[in-house]
Structure 1
Amino acid sequence: MKLEESKANCYIDDMIAVLQDGKDLLHRQDAQQAVRKLQDLKKKDFIITTEDFEDILRQIKDEMAKVLKSTENAATKSEEEYEDLKNKLTELKAEMSEAEKERTEMKRKFTVLETEQKEEIKRLKVEDSPEQKQLQYEKAKSGCRTQLIEHYRSEVLKVSAIPLQPDEENYNFSDVYIRPTITSKIEKNRGESEEKEIESMSEIFTKNGDPQKFIYVVGDAGSGKSSFCKYLINCWCMAHSDGHNENDEFEGVKEMKKFDFMFYISLRHNINIRSIQEMLEMRYDKIKNLSKLLENDSEKIIILLDGLDEWSFDSETRNEFQAGLPERDFTKKYTIVTTSRPWKIHSLRVSNREIHQLLKLKGFDKTYEKK
């Protein structure tokens, strides 16, 4: 029971060869019965149980009975024959005692094995339960989120105070960022519209209580489109970190708590890559369970596409409703924030169906200019 299969079979073959010895054992019924059991053992369908030991003990007891019966008649036999019978009886008693010990040990081993099997089955059932699987998935999500935050803070949110004159010292983004004035287009009667200043982050991502999935942020060169993306990243990192104490007057941190994940893509580094899915897989290939996150949690994911005016694709996209735009999977419920210069949006003639929210960056007001 403790041997490797190949080694056990080697031993069994040796036993069978001895038991089939033509001079003596080949014609003995008990020897050939043993051969059959050994052959069964090799087939893996022969099970050694305590019942086998019971059979052995019964055979020993029967033999002892015969010996005892013989000793009753020993008085008429010679002294030498009587001594032989006594010796045989002693040997049988010793054999029976040894068999009893082996049976007891076998029962003990079976009990231990049965207990271990029950514990293992119990453990596997727990690990395979929907609750345990969900717990493991949530743990994996938390690890991915931590990995993203560390990446953003070390690679994205370390910036120069003056972008046009980068120095050797980089600062935390929140120490040097000034939020620009942001306006949204409000439709009025008879096709007229007006611009309204955005006063909180919730006004960017919701309208009349409904979530806005396709948000476009436009502004001229140097108006702060990329910095606005970093502002969103900074708010998201703080929303999912312990102990942040930064002023949240724009309620950006509060709004970002609604989203489990944020993925930033610089479109000028992804020219001629057709779909958002491909961009994510290339940029975030080190994130474990990325495909599962994108499949199961798309409703709580923000994707930042920075610089639409710097992106192009050589051939037509596969979806007529997304002409000139990176392709997205319509079965997913991502929130997608795209930054661009105004001319690109106009040249593509992006439909209202594609634009749920159109924001404009207006630069700093007088108060911020002085600051």
Structure 2
Amino acid sequence: MKLTTARDIYKNQLEYIEQKQVLQRKLVERYQKCYVKTWISPLKCQEDEITIHQVYVTPDLVVEEKSVPETESKPLSCKTVTQSKYANRNLKHISQYRDIFQTNCMRCKKIYIVGDVGTGKSSFSKMMIHNWCKSVKEDNCDTRAQIPTVDSHNSQNESNEEYSTIDSKDNAEDERDIKEMEMFDFLFFVPLQRMSEFSSDILEMIRELYKDIVSDELIKRIFCEESDHCCIIADGLDEWTIPKQFPHPRHITYGIPNGDRVQNATIVTLSRPSAKGILNLKSSECDRKIVLRGVSKESLGRFTRKYMSIQTRIGYIPLSEEEEEEESSASDFLEKLLETKFHNLEKTPMLLQQLVWLYCRRKDIGTSISDIYSNIVNIMFGWSKNKEDEDCTDDSANVPIELEGMELPELLKNFPRCETNQRFIFILSKLSFEALTDSTSSYTLGRSKLQKCGLSQADIASLIKFGIIEEYNSLDPTFEQTYFSFIHLSYLEFFAAVYVSIRYHALHSSSQAKKRKKERTPLEDIFLKLHSTAHILEMSNLFIMLCGLSPFLVEELFCLISKTVRTDERLISNRENLFESDIEEPELIQKLLQDCCLECSDFNTAICLSDIFITSSNSYLIRQINPKEVLSLCIEHYFLWDDYTVNWITQLPHLQLACIEIDNVECGKFDKLLEALKQVVSLKQLFLYNRYNSTNIQRLSRDFLFRI
């Protein structure tokens, strides 16, 4: 009887192992077919697809590790002098997966990777998936038959082409990361945008996404018995909409999916920093928070060469042999960028990729982000099977009634195909605006909604052919068999900005000005729905591109942002601890205004903000800031302590908190600063810090008190 039981247990375990092997193989096949591909142009067409490994460059990842000071200052009376959150800040660069999954020899289970639009979050997730697939295949070479690749019909040729763009440094980094991924028997990729309004539970998402290749019983058993060996990549938290029909668990921060049922699995979540879940994230819900800052400056040339090499091979660069070396070289391209106002492009690889693509096609690379997107959309509209299709386009009919008589923004009028296809632009812009500003809807669009807005079946097919939207199977086919989304969230934001610009121009046109004099402006309509700083940050990219489309809106936009931020209860209640807390909204808001100024080259409009952060990259903002609005000030770099800055500090009548870096500051300059601070009678707290040596804080703090 015991032998029979043992045999049954062994048989059951053997079947379980075989089921896991089959699941591994099916996951690898799916990922290689659908998830590790990328494209070199903004037009997502099958012939453009390449493996992410061919163009991937190790990203610039940093994590803040706070060191504990050797000694602590005793509480001091009078004006409080203490340490800020900036003191002893230690930014550690991460170049390998081991530093992502481990810290202080402890495994990290809840990992968040945050980065602004276009920094490479999706590429990072694709590369991690690619490396896991490689780790599984290499392990299988040693233990059982190798898992076949889905591209076996031309695998040898493709492999040769793939590695022709990869240097020895890439290979060394990849081998190291592939080895690290071997600790995971399973990797489940969860595109959160597709899970919008479906579920708040990660296990439910996995069961739905992979129900065609794995049974519920096997999924439950894997996460019950072997969750330690599972990795979940959840991409696009900022694009995920929480389902309305199910209550969100109270113990989980609003905006974060529930991962309780995946037990001890490692969850890597990627998001923009402005997502509600990220802004409200509790320390207990996060083992590791890593900032993705694009690629390093040193990798900029390598990134450019990789994309240019691929485009040369597939014939995207229309140059003769004589011209090719001179006109399409990465160095020539990078030199041309120096002539533009685009700086720090290494921080936005997606934008850099689009510029490379435009340059290789001998197109103007533009002067602003909105200019680049306008140019690319113009090219997309020319992506037809033949010239007759393009010439026969008639956009004079079927324009929605509310959009009749409206005109494109001046920037888009510079592009002929945008003029020809303005009906598409009107409809897409209206749909995008509604999707972004309606907090109850997701960023996906159903076929019925597209048709209701005036798009025929042929129109929808054309938009897919242009590469502007993509079609997916619906998770719930009760109402819609398929749904659509823009190829990237930034395109939805661009079209939404176009809609605001269109409406604004119509509202202020000479023929309609008197009729609509008492109407709210489009921006006022938007801000009626933005009740907090967090809500504003979710719309950051729309506001930036709007400033490029309609620069005259900058002043009104800044006033509305200032009004909302000034009344934000979360910031008001935490202002006294602003420099010691983990609240990031004030810095992100200032960055938003800074990016708006850069987009439209406006450095004259007054900036009204309560919390100001001055660094080496934005010192010019001092001349734009309204001093009467400033309640808190942080200056991080001592070399900004020129006479103008010191005099400016004395003109802050309501300043309550100041946080100042004192690294290697000259005594004379420090004395001037102290004299300036004495004149600020409203000052309640002063934070002095040395980035590298906490003992200097005590000495300078006491010096300051004795001088008062």
Name the TM-score class by shorter chain: 0.5 to 0.7
User: 1:286 Cα shift?
Assistant: 1.8
Aligned 8 A contact 1:233 1:262 in 2: yes
Partner of 1:307: 236
Three-state SS of the structure 1 residue aligned to 2:283 is coil
Aligned Cα root-mean-square deviation (Å): 2.5
| CA distance in structure 2 between the partners assigned to 1:261 and 1:248 by the alignment | 24
Tell me the alpha carbon deviations over residues 136-169 of structure 1, each in whole angstroms, 9 at most, x when there is no partner: 211211111011001000111122123x233423
Aligned 8 A contact 2:115 2:293 in 1: yes
What code does the residue aligned with 1:344 have?
A
Aligned 8 A contact 2:254 2:276 in 1: no
Aligned 8 A contact 2:253 2:282 in 1: no
Partner of 2:269: 338
Q: Does 1:271 align with 2:149?
A: no
Partner of 2:131: 235
Q: RCO (CA 8 Å, sep 6+): is it higher in 1 or 2? A: 1
Aligned 8 A contact 1:324 1:348 in 2: no
| CA distance in structure 2 between the partners assigned to 1:213 and 1:125 by the alignment | 37
Partner of 2:120: 224
Three-state SS of the structure 2 residue aligned to 1:279 is helix
| CA distance in structure 2 between the partners assigned to 1:204 and 1:291 by the alignment | 27
Q: Does 1:136 align with 2:15?
A: yes
User: 1:270 Cα shift?
Assistant: 0.6
User: 1:298 Cα shift?
Assistant: 1.0
Larger radius of gyration between Structure 1 and Structure 2: 1
Aligned counterpart for 1:359 among listed residues 265, 274, 290? 290
1:1-371 counterparts in 2 under 5 A? Answer: 127-128=7-8, 130-162=9-41, 164-167=42-45, 168-189=47-68, 191=85, 192=87, 193-242=89-138, 247-249=171-173, 251-272=176-197, 273-288=199-214, 289-313=218-242, 314=244, 316-329=247-260, 332-344=263-275, 348-371=279-302
| CA distance in structure 2 between the partners assigned to 1:188 and 1:344 by the alignment | 28
Three-state SS of the structure 1 residue aligned to 2:137 is coil
Tell me the alpha carbon deviations over residues 214-267 of structure 1, each in whole angstroms, 9 at most, x when there is no partner: 000000111111111111101100001036998242521011000110000111
In structure 2, stretches of 5+ residues that fail to align are 69-82, 147-162, 164-169, 303-708
In structure 1, stretches of 5+ residues that fail to align are 1-120
Partner of 1:69: none
| CA distance in structure 2 between the partners assigned to 1:346 and 1:157 by the alignment | 27
Q: Name the count of aligned residue pairs.
A: 249
Aligned 8 A contact 1:323 1:348 in 2: no
What code does the residue aligned with 2:238 have?
D
Three-state SS of the structure 2 residue aligned to 1:360 is strand
User: 1:355 Cα shift?
Assistant: 1.1
| CA distance in structure 1 between the partners assigned to 2:277 and 2:13 by the alignment | 45
| CA distance in structure 2 between the partners assigned to 1:212 and 1:277 by the alignment | 19
Tell me the alpha carbon deviations over residues 260-310 of structure 1, each in whole angstroms, 9 at most, x when there is no partner: 100001111111222111111110102332222222211110111101111
Three-state SS of the structure 2 residue aligned to 1:187 is coil
| CA distance in structure 1 between the partners assigned to 2:262 and 2:58 by the alignment | 34
Partner of 1:50: none
| CA distance in structure 1 between the partners assigned to 2:210 and 2:134 by the alignment | 20
Aligned 8 A contact 1:316 1:324 in 2: no
Identity of aligned residues (%): 29
What code does the residue aligned with 2:12 have?
K
Three-state SS of the structure 2 residue aligned to 1:321 is coil
Distance 1:158 1:330, change over 3 A: closer
User: 1:345 Cα shift?
Assistant: 5.4
User: 1:365 Cα shift?
Assistant: 1.8
Distance 1:292 1:172, change over 3 A: same
Aligned 8 A contact 2:114 2:292 in 1: yes
| CA distance in structure 2 between the partners assigned to 1:178 and 1:166 by the alignment | 21
Three-state SS of the structure 2 residue aligned to 1:362 is strand
